[in-house]
Chains A and B, each alone.
Chain A
């Protein structure tokens, strides 16, 4: 699904990613953990095409195609979804209009007919149920006045609506209480299929109790320094990031 080779990226002339290598197969869940400032969010920004970041070296192949040549929206239409760490409030844009436009643009891209208003509403209702979204977020303006938990649940709702093949969850657990975390994780798990993959970026083991990863990577100082199974997350939780720093000889 996704192959990252020797990826280097910088922002404002400062190199953040210093040679990332990563291989994600269809159906896999990869967790990326690491201390603050290690480059986790930069990686998600680069994968989604954020123009503030400049790729200086390396390549990213997504479903056999060069991802780095694609625009932000094309990547999205190809099936890359980012659950934002800080979802943006967009006053004046309704959730309904936003989702309807997004879905129909994606459907057009895939050669599918646009959903009619009633098909869309029906689908919205189903997806709200699917991710246990009870409150009427859909009638509100995008993220405006949402609590931290609501914002994250809204991200998962959008993920359910758009059905991406590669989801990147950027610190989806931050700001969530344990119940909200469970609902969000349930949503992600229910959306998992053998054809979809997931990158879970997190500081803590806690989220990984609910979304169980196949592989855990530790990102440190712009590089992946350790890769192992889900037990790595537990080890990290116990020993802390100091342990990694020691291992890196710092």
Chain B
């Protein structure tokens, strides 16, 4: 069936249910998105920003309802994350639904489900929700406005610094092929700070499709660190979008790590709206088999005196395919902008394929900008040098791959996380990190109970 028609039908059949729990505000946003969807639908092969991703591949599977049931399993009992022992407040989302685990989180910070936020924190919610997403023009983001079932809401008040990292674990589990659509909203009021680590984990062996859209607003003088760790099975598809709006004297550090995944599309848009702000944007994808990872990034310098530094790297093994499309726009009047973008890739086999397209659009004359992209192989001379000292070919290759990835770690600024992520990368490169190694469920052949 036609995909567009299918989602139109889904919306029409779910509208009544949405009406029940939505505020008028949210319901109106859904309908606006629905009108847009009726015109634009989802991206196709002709959509420039999606030209390397065959959207139809995602829909070769039939999915269950977009409305997810509440889980009756105690997920805290079952789930244990790789980045365990991290001094973090842990929030679980079960198939996109906020899972209240009754754990106390720093009192000043508001953390709740989107459903709750639209009612209880209406003023903040309505000030920010969909403000950024509605201007992005992406079919999947629009679809999330139209159909999101739930998601996470985080608000850090003025002059508040979250002491602990907030770890958000997105669990996909249960029987059947899930189509999970969720929306998150992170708001940092003035002079506040927060670090967030989002871990995507799938515990079933179904073919799931997750559409995850996060809007974040970083107020004047605030700092947001947002790390996403993706570890999904081969049959899964994920479209993850992060849209960040940055104020004055603010700072954002984003890191997207893809360790596994069937089809993964990451959208990242950062808009620097206030002067003297910095954006540090990192990405690393380590993929093999027939996995496909697609990173699209858009950095917009709207005002003068901001810096953005973007570094995305990838290692592609076997028949993996990847795409990087990165655009920096320096708008008119955004003088004294410094914007750097780099994308480097290693293809370990002749079958691995990487497409990279760095783009710069500059409408100001007093700026420092650069971009560069490479696709290459492991350095044969370095490999020989290591082997000549008695290091096996396998170990030597691992050392070089790890060194390649290490560049990203050097640019990360949260020390305790850095070490854990370094270990994860190491075990991923060694092939020791499987989809299920991080959960305590008794999996047999990947068939999890949850």
Q: Which residues of chain A have a CB within 8 Å of any CB of chain B?
A: 48, 50, 71-73, 76-77, 81-82, 84, 87-88, 90-93, 97-99, 101-102, 105-106, 109, 142, 158, 162
Pick the residue among B382, B389, B392, B396 that contacts A158 (CB under 8 A).
B389
Please name all residues of chain B whose beta carbon is closer than 8 Å to the beta carbon of A87 when the two chains form the complex.
385
Let me know if B102 is at the binding interface, CB within 8 A.
Answer: no
Please name all residues of chain B whose beta carbon is closer than 8 Å to the beta carbon of A91 when the two chains form the complex.
403, 407
Q: How far is the CB of B419 from chain A (nearest CB, A)?
A: 15
Instruction: Give residues of chain B (371-417) contacting chain A, Cβ–Cβ below 8 Å.
Output: 379, 381-382, 384-393, 395-396, 399-400, 402-404, 406-407
Pick the residue among B384, B385, B395 that contacts A105 (CB under 8 A).
B395
B402 to chain A: closest residue by CB: A92
Instruction: For the complex, give the distance between the alpha carbons of A93 and B304 in Å.
Output: 38
Q: Is the CB of A92 within 8 A of B391?
A: no
Please name all residues of chain A whose beta carbon is closer than 8 Å to the beta carbon of B384 when the two chains form the complex.
50, 72, 88
Q: Is the CB of B390 within 8 A of A76?
A: yes
Q: How far is the CB of A97 from chain B (nearest CB, A)?
A: 7
Q: Which residues of chain B have a CB within 8 Å of any CB of chain A?
A: 379, 381-382, 384-393, 395-396, 399-400, 402-404, 406-407
Pick the residue among A73, A77, A88, A90 that contacts B403 (CB under 8 A).
A90
Pick the residue among A72, A77, A98, A162 that contacts B399 (CB under 8 A).
A98
Q: Can you offer 18 A-B residue contacts whose CB atoms are under 8 A?
A: A72-B384, A73-B388, A73-B392, A73-B396, A76-B388, A77-B390, A81-B389, A84-B388, A88-B379, A88-B384, A90-B385, A91-B407, A92-B400, A93-B403, A98-B389, A101-B395, A105-B392, A105-B395
Please name all residues of chain A whose beta carbon is closer than 8 Å to the beta carbon of B390 when the two chains form the complex.
73, 76-77, 102, 105-106, 109, 162
Pick the residue among B382, B388, B393 that contacts A90 (CB under 8 A).
B382
Instruction: For the complex, give the distance between the alpha carbons of A105 and B400 in Å.
Output: 17
A76-B390, A106-B390 in contact; A97/B382 too (CB < 8 A)? no
Q: Is the CB of B404 within 8 A of A88?
A: no
Q: How far is the CB of A79 from chain B (nearest CB, A)?
A: 9
Instruction: For the complex, give the distance between the alpha carbons of A48 and B387 in Å.
Output: 10
Please name all residues of chain A whose beta carbon is closer than 8 Å to the beta carbon of B402 when the two chains form the complex.
92-93
A48 to chain B: closest residue by CB: B388
Instruction: For the complex, give the distance between the alpha carbons of A81 and B387 in Å.
Output: 11
B404 to chain A: closest residue by CB: A92
Q: Is the CB of A76 within 8 A of B385?
A: no
Q: Is the CB of B400 within 8 A of A93?
A: yes
Please name all residues of chain A whose beta carbon is closer than 8 Å to the beta carbon of B387 when the two chains form the complex.
71-73, 76
Instruction: For the complex, give the distance between the alpha carbons of A81 and B389 in Å.
Output: 7
Instruction: For the complex, give the distance between the alpha carbons of A73 and B384 in Å.
Output: 9
Q: How far is the CB of B150 from chain A (nearest CB, A)?
A: 41
Q: How far is the CB of B23 from chain A (nearest CB, A)?
A: 51
Instruction: For the complex, give the distance between the alpha carbons of A48 and B384 in Å.
Output: 10
Q: Which of B379, B381, B389, B403 has the most CB of A within 10 A?
A: B389
Q: Is the CB of B399 within 8 A of A71?
A: no
Please name all residues of chain B whose beta carbon is closer than 8 Å to the beta carbon of A82 when the two chains form the complex.
388
Q: Which of B388, B389, B390 has the most CB of A within 10 A?
A: B390
Instruction: For the complex, give the distance between the alpha carbons of A203 and B323 in Å.
Output: 50
Q: Is the CB of A102 within 8 A of B389?
A: yes
Q: Which 5 A-B pairs have the closest CB atoms?
A: A92-B403, A76-B390, A102-B389, A72-B387, A92-B406
Q: How far is the CB of A92 from chain B (nearest CB, A)?
A: 3
Instruction: For the complex, give the distance between the alpha carbons of A76 and B393 in Å.
Output: 12
Instruction: For the complex, give the distance between the alpha carbons of A99 and B386 in Å.
Output: 9
Instruction: For the complex, give the distance between the alpha carbons of A181 and B382 in Å.
Output: 25
Q: Is the CB of A162 within 8 A of B400?
A: no
A90 to chain B: closest residue by CB: B382
Instruction: For the complex, give the distance between the alpha carbons of A160 and B387 in Å.
Output: 17
